[in-house]
Structure 1
Amino acid sequence: MAATSAPIKVDVGTDQLISHAAHFLGKAKKDVVDAAVREYIEAHRNEINDGIRVALNQLDGSPKSAVSLLAGLSPDQLDEYGGMPAES
């Protein structure tokens, strides 16, 4: 199966850094970005996992908890904005 790619947008300064690194490393820009992202994620894996745990702890299986998490609102704030329709 061929790998698919998706475009990403970076600011001009970052693009220049990627271009210079790719040139002097003799690599394609996409390979530099791929390696950088993988290294960054590995270096921050504990923080990412902590965020996942916090998010999962907020979910109780109800639509209200899912909407609350996705909207970035506490369940009380969600209720203040009209709450969720009653489940049937």
Structure 2
Amino acid sequence: MATAVTPIKVDAHIDQLISHAAHFLGLSKKDVVDAAVREYIDNHRAEIRQAVKEALRQLDGPVASSVTLLTGMSRAELDEVGGFSERE
């Protein structure tokens, strides 16, 4: 399976750190970033899993809860623009 290459933006200082690490480790910048992201996700897996569970819990609730999660609007803001009945 071919993988897509997608550029990411980092500030100049981080780019310099990535470049130095790649040079001294004999790796490409892509390999350094790949390893770093994988390590970060592994180290924060429990937090990520908890956030996913919370999002799913909100999405499985009433429509209003789903809309607040997806839009970032508060329940009060939703009510101001028409809101949702409890049946929805």
Q: Do they fold alike, i.e. is TM over 0.5?
A: yes
User: How far 1:63 moved relative to its partner?
Assistant: 4.9
> Which residue number corresponds to residue 67 of structure 2?
67
**TM-score, normalised with respect to structure 1:** 0.82
The structural deviation recorded for 1:54 is: 1.1
One-letter code aligned to 1:18 = I
TM-score with structure 2 setting the length: 0.82
**Unaligned 5+ residue runs, structure 2?**
none
Residue equivalent to 1:77 = 77
How many residues get paired? Answer: 86
Q: RMSD of the TM alignment (CA)?
A: 2.2
> Which 5+ residue runs of structure 1 have no aligned equivalent?
none
Partners of 1:25 and 1:75 in 2: how far apart? Answer: 51
Q: Secondary structure at the match of 2:8?
A: coil
Q: Distance in 2 between matches of 1:34 and 1:82?
A: 46
1:24 aligns with 2:24: yes
Alignment of 1:4 onto 2:7: no
Q: CA deviation at 1:69?
A: 0.7
- The alpha carbon displacement at 1:74 in A equals 3.3
Instruction: State the Cα distance separating 1:62 from its structure 2 match.
Output: 5.7
Aligned pairs for 1:31-42 within 5 A? 31-42=31-42
